[in-house]
Amino acid sequence: MTAVAAVNALWAAHIVRSLLDAGVKHFVVSPGSRSTPITLAIAKAESDTGVKVSVVLDERVAAFVALGSTVAGCRAALLCTSGTAGAHYLPAVIEASYAEVPLVVCTANRPPELHGCGAPQTIDQASLYAPYVRARFAFGPPESDALPKLKELEVHAFKVPGPIHLDFAFREPLWSEEVGAGLFEASAHRSGLPDGQPFIDRPAIRAALLEVIGLRELPQRTLVVAGARAALVAGPAPAGWAVLADAASNLRALSTCISAYDVILRVPSLMSRLKPDLILCAGAVPASRQAQDFLSRTDGPMKILLGRHHESQDPGRTASGHVDVALTAMLDALCEAPPASDFIAAWQLAEETARTTLDAACDEGFWSGAVVSTLDSELGARPVHLASSMPIRDFDHFTGRAPIGRRVFAHRGTNGIDGTIASSLGESLALGGSTVTVLLGDVAYQHDLGSLAATRGLEIRLVLVVVNNGGGAIFGHLGISRHPSAFERFFLTPPQVDIEATARACGASHVGVTDRTSLASALRAAYADTRFGVTVIECRVDRRYDEVRHKDAHTAAITALTNLKL
């Protein structure tokens, strides 16, 4: 029996070494028995190599922690035991799939002879995530001919943009005291992702774009639309082209960024003068419904998609073609062509007019616009995670250009609220415990309370800015809000938890605010605190007043833009 334990340990050491070679820099482990051999190999690797290891009890939380870590640049691998444990990974795996995040999912399993006979904690795991992973490997009990598969997974792990699933079966005994701890030998391993910026072949990129659009020169009136993940981090990227930049695009540091595009697109008379001849699209579909409608028009200008997986960028199916290149590389290449200054100047004038009006609206009263405007002012270049639903839309509408270096994270693969706090934990861990601010609503807060409980013992710093407006405020802007009986119970769903009580029960500090001045003070105090932990800033907002202020702000901006003389 000791021989079985020894083989398990040796095989687990090979697994962990291969994951390190594939670029894994963070292991997120949930406790369990069947995964014992790999868990011990990870523990040994932690002491030998210094690889980051986090223990998270709840597998759903763990999966989003790993997702956030990977998105923030620290590639993570998950590990759990057999049975339904791995099923809790599914929401994060789906998000990783649609967001093209190279998450590595490892599940431990029981050997073949224990399947189909009623053995406890045994399910069909091999195809658990089948529609959503780029590759899946079901390993039987340890055997030498499986080693080539481990090398194959290295190829998939850093060449395929999306999650992969590795299922490992182990026989008992899973561990024996007689098996030494020296089976895992730390060795220098290559990084799965090369450092540095990719080489930009400007002539080749321009030539590829010109070939797709069928022209010898780019149109003077070219517009760039950048959704979430268009760039990894805000930086001094080359400007020169008007860029409609979603809040999560990480391109709002550009001097030609158009941040108020949502309200500009609502003014037909203005858009007739701002209409481009060519649109370049990158990243996810923008959060703005106005932008989505603009891009879906069949009578609009030629639209070219940028990026590898262009099929996920075109729900209106109106694109004319695509070029497999990152937007930042494309912008760099296009800077060699002189832009049409009058076209950009017109867009920038519209931006200035709209932004001035929206900023003025945010100065009046305490509502969601005032919350995000205050947060934007105090945030500086710190990273921020925007929850889906109203938070990302409000941040998109009511904030302008961003400082260089600010990273904006959001779940825009499937646009869900699940795992908002957990992903932010992973982002903070990946960034060495740096403070990550999370803007979320009261429903998303309640939905992910398990993640708040999981923060104890983790070396993270989170500031949760919770907009408490009594439920799913986004539904108040939809037609269902007029339903005479079903709206509040089935759609608004006011949370039934006390934010202060739950925060303190989970070891977080809590501050309640009702105006911009107290919010700014709370943010400054939270940012000045260098201790690990979580601060929950509860912004108490009246939902009906909030709806009125949203409408008033957009009406004022539309009026100013309608009267604008270009």
Q: What residue ranges do the domains of the chain occupy?
A: 2-169, 202-355, 368-541
Query: For the segment 413-468, what is each residue's pLDDT rounded down to a tens digit?
Result: 888 899 999 999 999 999 999 999 999 999 999 999 999 999 988 999 999 999 99
The pLDDT value recorded for residue 190 is 43
The pLDDT value recorded for residue 330 is 76
Which residues of 340-459 form beta strands (DSSP E)? 384-386, 408-410, 435-441
Helix then strand then coil, % of the chain, to nearest 5: 45, 15, 40
Eight-class DSSP state of 118: T
Question: Is the pLDDT confidence value at 195 over 70?
Answer: no
Range 368-541 classified under CATH 3.40.50.720: no
* Bridge partners (DSSP) listed for residue 408: 384
Spatial distance between the Cα atoms of 397 and 404, rounded to a whole number of angstroms:
19
Give ∠ CA 408-414-418 in degrees, rounded to 5: 75
Q: Report yes or no: 283 and 302 within 8 Å, Cβ to Cβ.
A: no
**Of 92-101, 454-463, 484-493, where does mean pLDDT reach its minimum?**
484-493
Beta-carbon contacts of 440 under 8 Å, excluding residues fewer than 6 positions away, are: 387, 391, 417, 420, 421, 464, 465, 466, 467
342 or 360: which leads in pLDDT? 360
pTM of the model: 0.91
How many CB atoms sit inside 10 A of residue 152's CB?
Answer: 13
Spatial distance between the Cα atoms of 156 and 162, rounded to a whole number of angstroms:
9
Over residues 60-81, mean pLDDT: 96
**Of 306-315, 375-384, 478-487, where does mean pLDDT reach its minimum?**
306-315
Eight-class DSSP state of 123: -
**Of 31-40, 194-203, 268-277, where does mean pLDDT reach its minimum?**
194-203
CA dihedral for 268, 274, 279, 280, sign (positive or negative): negative
Q: For all residues of the chain together, what is the average pLDDT? A: 87
Tally the C-alpha atoms within 13 A of residue 375's C-alpha that lie toward its C-beta: 33
Over residues 346-370, mean pLDDT: 97
Tokens standing for residue 34: 């069947």
Confirm whether 2-169 and 368-541 share one CATH topology: yes
Q: Among residues 301, 163, 113, which one has the least CA distance to residue 220? A: 301
Spatial distance between the Cα atoms of 360 and 351, rounded to a whole number of angstroms:
14
The pLDDT value recorded for residue 185 is 52
The pLDDT value recorded for residue 454 is 92
Question: Is the pLDDT confidence value at 111 over 90?
Answer: no
434 or 203: which leads in pLDDT? 434
Unique residue bearing structure tokens 């996810």? 284
Secondary structure (H, E, C), 283-307: CCCCCCHHHHHHHHCCCCCEEEEEC
**Which one-letter amino acid corresponds to residue 381?**
A
CATH topology (fold) of 202-355: Rossmann fold (3.40.50)
Over residues 289-307, mean pLDDT: 87
The pLDDT value recorded for residue 189 is 43
Please give the helix or strand (H or E) that residue 562 lies within, else none. Answer: helix 543-562
Spatial distance between the Cα atoms of 236 and 400, rounded to a whole number of angstroms:
16
- Omega cis (within 30) before 339: no
Q: Among residues 9, 28, 7, 30, which one has the least CA distance to residue 84? A: 30
Question: Is the pLDDT confidence value at 565 over 90?
Answer: no
The pLDDT value recorded for residue 329 is 76
Question: Is the pLDDT confidence value at 134 over 80?
Answer: yes
- CATH code reported for the domain at 2-169: 3.40.50.970
Give ∠ CA 558-562-565 in degrees, rounded to 5: 135
The pLDDT value recorded for residue 196 is 37
Percentage with pLDDT > 90 across the chain: 58
Q: Among residues 464, 409, 455, 508, which one has the least CA distance to residue 68? A: 409
Spatial distance between the Cα atoms of 22 and 17, rounded to a whole number of angstroms:
9
CA–centroid distance for 344 within its chain? 30
Q: Among residues 310, 410, 374, 408, which one has the least CA distance to residue 523? A: 374
Question: Is the pLDDT confidence value at 34 over 80?
Answer: yes
Spatial distance between the Cα atoms of 493 and 472, rounded to a whole number of angstroms:
6
